[in-house]
Amino acid sequence: MAKKKSVSTKKAKVAPADPGDLLSIRRKRAKSVIASLKTLFPQAECALNHESAFQLLVATILSAQCTDERVNQATPVLFRIYPCAASLAKATQEDVERIVKPLGFFRNKAANIRGMAQALVERFHGEIPQDIEELITLPGVGRKTASVVLGTWFGIPSGVVVDTHVKRLTNLLGLTSSENPEIIERDLMAFIPQSEWIEFSHRLIHHGRRTCIARRPKCTECGLLPHCPRTGLKPLEEL
């Protein structure tokens, strides 16, 4: 009796997509996402209350691992007592800590904004430098913080701000496959037009806070649903 041929149960491996193809797909998808975001949020603005570049820089430093709402509750008192870099540079650590204590990590945050103010006075005459490489030399200022200030206040697109919302939604929408904010920023800058860098982040952050909420997404109300893999879009690696 002839032996039956065994049938392999192994699934055929899908060859990874060419990097150039992925870039083209992501660019096309990003174009559609950007158009939808513009319709949903035509006037997206920074959620941190501020009246100057200095105040925005302070508020952004304080917003690390803290909600913008809580920061906005603390900064009116802080800015009334210390309205500029020169006044904050002279503040004591204890006095600043008392004001920012509700924001968490208050000792480090107080030290960072005081150190930032002192460096501004000593090296930049109290003025916020409009160059990202100079900005990130200040205590407590990384690329994300610098990009927020340069983009929001000065209108300078120095990069794409990647906060927790941007990180989560760009992965969900298939615009990146990385969990590293620096890699995500590089991915996005490769196919999002520079003229869209500033508003793209603002709009995506608004969408993450209002509709695509991490633990309770309002999918039936989502204006980005046509671009979302939850509706059947394949992961980029399978396209």
Of 161, 190, 163, nearest to 175 (Cα)?
190
Among this protein's residues, is 90 annotated catalytic? no
Q: Which of 31, 38, 68, 163 is catalytic?
A: 163
Q: Which of 144, 167, 187, 234 is catalytic?
A: 144
Inter-CA distances, 118 with 64, 124, 127, Å: 20, 10, 11
Among this protein's residues, is 163 annotated catalytic? yes
CB 150 within 8 A of CB 158: yes
**Catalytic residue numbers?**
144, 163
